[in-house]
Chain A
Amino acid sequence: MKRCTAAIVTWMALLGPALALADDQPKAKPEGQKKAGQLPTSPSDVFAELYEHLADSIIEIRATEDNLVKGLLVNYHAAAQRHLGQAGRGNERVMHLEAAATEITNIANEGDKRVQAVRQRLKEAGHYHQEDAETQEDYMFIDSKEKKELIALAQKVGRMGEDAAPADLKAVANELRNVFTKAIGRE
């Protein structure tokens, strides 16, 4: 609530002077006469101008989010491959396999638990249910088919156990790389 109030205050601070300024200006000139750098001439102009700037910001923020999520995914993938490699070397194999499995599910979910806590606040209000297309289209890079593949792969890795053969470990590492490359590369 405090955060929400702060945002409203900020916007009011921006809007108030702009509207006051607009009211002081002469009436709108015919289209085409407005020059670069010219102040808006009516409240409607002010709002349109503000929205223009807001849109620029939103687009920039979306691009930033894309890059951030891509960075997260690369990080999870690297961590999963590292754990699989360490599992292959035999030291604390089960621990590393389980850690790799967790990292793979982080890729599947496009985020770990901490990221989930942030992202759920940004979602459209409502509950998850199967017909909720908006919720299902939540992910930026991983589609539902890839998510299912990754979860299945995580289950496989998590269950490989102490006796996992090196060839099997190599196979799951390759499988992970393929799915990951496909998901990231498509974007």
Chain B
Amino acid sequence: MTVRLACARSAAWRLGIALALAAACASCRQPDDASLTGETQSNPAPRTAAASDAPKPSAAHPADSYAAPDQTSPPTPIQPYFTNIAPQAGLTATLYCGGPRKDHILESVGSGAAWIDFDEDGRLDLYLVNAWALDEEPSQVRERGRNVLYRNLGDGKFEDVAAQASVDDDSWGCGVCAGDYDNDGHVDLYVTNFGPNRLYRNRGNGTFEEVGQAAGVADDGWGAGAAFFDADLDGDLDLYVVNYIDCTWESVLAAQRTHVWQRTVKVMRGPFGMRGGRDRFYRNNGQGAFEDATEEVGMSDVAESYGLGVIASDLDHDGDVDVYVANDSNPNFLYRNNGDGRFTDIGSWSGCAVNSEGAAQGSMGVEAGDLDGDGVEEILVTNFARDYTTLYHNHGGLLFEDISVRQRLNDFTFMPMGWGCAFADYDLDADSDLVLVNGHIYPQVDEAPQLKESYHQAPLLLENQKGRLENVSQSAFDAALRVSGRGLAAADYDDDGDLDFAVTAIDSPVLLLRNDAPRRGSWVKLRLLNAQGSPAINARVQIAAGGVTQTREQRSGSTYQSQNALELHFGLGDADTIDTITIHWPGGATSQHHNLPANRTHTFQP
């Protein structure tokens, strides 16, 4: 598939790349290699100078007033609250996505965010993908947004260092994922675009080198989600890239709103009626480059299924990584890894391609997590408006069942349009809750109150209450917190022990939702590193503490066009010691660690 772009745009890109490659960040700190060499480090270097092994109480942070629950009386009702502190933190760059009318579907998909510690100073930094602003009449480019890299200064503030780090690309950006593809110990970034994608090789000195073309992964389609994973267990990370629609830049500028939504307002066309993009699988040759092995490994996307989201996860725990693709308005794919680096799409009969009614949904984001504590991950898929977010229960052996209605997701999520999603224990009570980002794609719905829809929508927080989801969104988010949300990336950016969320939104600055919720327990974070010292992608952990066993997997990509922090966060309830941590490393090795203290970060290597 080829996105055929105007020559002028290509020329501008070249200029942008030249500018982006101009500077380097001399002030970036080197990694603390000494902290990464041990088999097990129960007391690693903190991410920030202020951070220590235990969370510090703060007057501004009611969560830190946690005390062990009184076993004799029912727990006090919790009023969770997330505060958008992006403006105070300096996260002010607007993320563009076309013109105000959204005449073309390209202007609907937004762009993602990634939490990575690019300069290895122990703090999580935030990378934001940006697109362009368009004028309507005449339809033309008003401004080419540049990607932003916000360096975490550790004092609650961030500064944009994208230009110095050479990652301030001005392509029409979409998604991002992270992983150390060249095994040099530094986390690299892959950015999908409408047009050639970028691979930013982390030089290890706080700067990046764009090597997409040279590495063979400058896929020139309309890229959406992407994920690094080791498909063939050869020790290096391969790459799956989802492509959405095959169309031209000229068609974007010429688009007219001719589709009628709910017989009421004229809106953009698509995706039906358009030719879908074809996803790609790139196999890492171990020499710093990739080859397109899509056909060879059995991932030919002949359905051209309008893909948007992807997770790469060992969903059947057989030691190799499977791939699930969320397709807009078409059946989703579940590629079973056959163990030899080849894949078979078994989605159609595995129970997770369509909903319980047999209907393909307009899927956008996807995540996997163990909601019911049975040790295997459910699949969560966010969908279009007037349809529900789907939760597929994992029966094991790659067999799934749509349990959305049982979990009342049809009630909670029917009207909003879902995008980014996360399994996250926001209140530290030793289970996984759900965070969902919403936002319509048709601004015109605001002109028709009878539709009872809104372009700007609030996020959802669904709390896991002993296996049953409850909608606690009203107390979680300020009523004014309504955006046309898209990406979601989870991280404990402030190292206070609870998970915070970056939310990207159309034509808006990013939201940084600081978790100020009262806490129901202690916590632990695990940094799982490979032999080179970079995050071990698809390492899976079972943690037993306080009589509860929880499972998490460290993944590249997932959610919606975004990247969560490459570390695993657990709430522990009232446990102050972790009885056992069992780590299943990529490649098959397993390690166990016992009696580790809570409320700190532990780092492990195989």
Give me the interface of A with B, judged by CB distance under 8 Å: 1, 98, 101-102, 104-106, 108-109, 113-114, 116-117, 120-131, 135-136, 144, 147-148, 150-151, 154-155, 157-159
Asked if A127 and B271 make an inter-chain contact with CB atoms under 8 angstroms apart, the answer reads yes
B residues in contact with A135, CB < 8 Å: 272, 329
Q: Is B304 an interface residue (CB 8 A)?
A: yes
A residues in contact with B275, CB < 8 Å: 117, 121
Known: A116-B303, A120-B271, A154-B348. A127 touches B357 (CB 8 A): no
A148–B346 CA distance with the chains assembled, in angstroms: 17
Q: Is B74 an interface residue (CB 8 A)?
A: no
A62–B33 CA distance with the chains assembled, in angstroms: 68
Contact pick for B272, options A123, A131, A151, CB 8 Å: A123
The secondary-structure label for the interface of chain B is loop
Asked if A117 and B349 make an inter-chain contact with CB atoms under 8 angstroms apart, the answer reads no
A124–B272 CA distance with the chains assembled, in angstroms: 6
Nearest B residue to A104 via CB reads B349
Known: A116-B303, A159-B399. A127 touches B328 (CB 8 A): yes
Q: Is B270 an interface residue (CB 8 A)?
A: yes
Nearest Cβ in chain A — how far from B328, in angstroms?
Answer: 6
A residues in contact with B305, CB < 8 Å: 113, 116-117
Nearest B residue to A100 via CB reads B349
A residues in contact with B399, CB < 8 Å: 155, 159
Interface string of B328-353 (1 = CB under 8 A from A): 11110000000000001010111101
A139–B349 CA distance with the chains assembled, in angstroms: 19
B residues in contact with A101, CB < 8 Å: 346, 348-349
Asked if B302 and A117 make an inter-chain contact with CB atoms under 8 angstroms apart, the answer reads yes
Asked if B348 and A127 make an inter-chain contact with CB atoms under 8 angstroms apart, the answer reads no
Q: How many residues of B sit at the interface, in one of the four size bands? A: 35 or more
A52–B358 CA distance with the chains assembled, in angstroms: 39
Nearest Cβ in chain B — how far from A99, in angstroms?
Answer: 10
Nearest B residue to A134 via CB reads B272
A-B contact pairs, 8 of them (CB 8 A): A113-B303, A120-B273, A121-B274, A127-B328, A130-B414, A144-B358, A148-B358, A158-B349
Q: Is B251 an interface residue (CB 8 A)?
A: yes
A120–B358 CA distance with the chains assembled, in angstroms: 17
A140–B329 CA distance with the chains assembled, in angstroms: 18
B residues in contact with A136, CB < 8 Å: 359
Nearest Cβ in chain A — how far from B294, in angstroms?
Answer: 14
Nearest Cβ in chain B — how far from A185, in angstroms?
Answer: 21
A1–B248 CA distance with the chains assembled, in angstroms: 8
Asked if A147 and B358 make an inter-chain contact with CB atoms under 8 angstroms apart, the answer reads yes
Asked if A98 and B346 make an inter-chain contact with CB atoms under 8 angstroms apart, the answer reads yes
Known: A120-B271, A125-B258, A126-B269. A131 touches B386 (CB 8 A): yes
Q: Is B354 an interface residue (CB 8 A)?
A: yes
B residues in contact with A126, CB < 8 Å: 259, 261, 269-270, 272-273
A135–B275 CA distance with the chains assembled, in angstroms: 17
Nearest Cβ in chain A — how far from B301, in angstroms?
Answer: 8
A102–B275 CA distance with the chains assembled, in angstroms: 24
Q: Is B5 an interface residue (CB 8 A)?
A: no
Asked if A129 and B384 make an inter-chain contact with CB atoms under 8 angstroms apart, the answer reads yes
Nearest Cβ in chain B — how far from A62, in angstroms?
Answer: 18
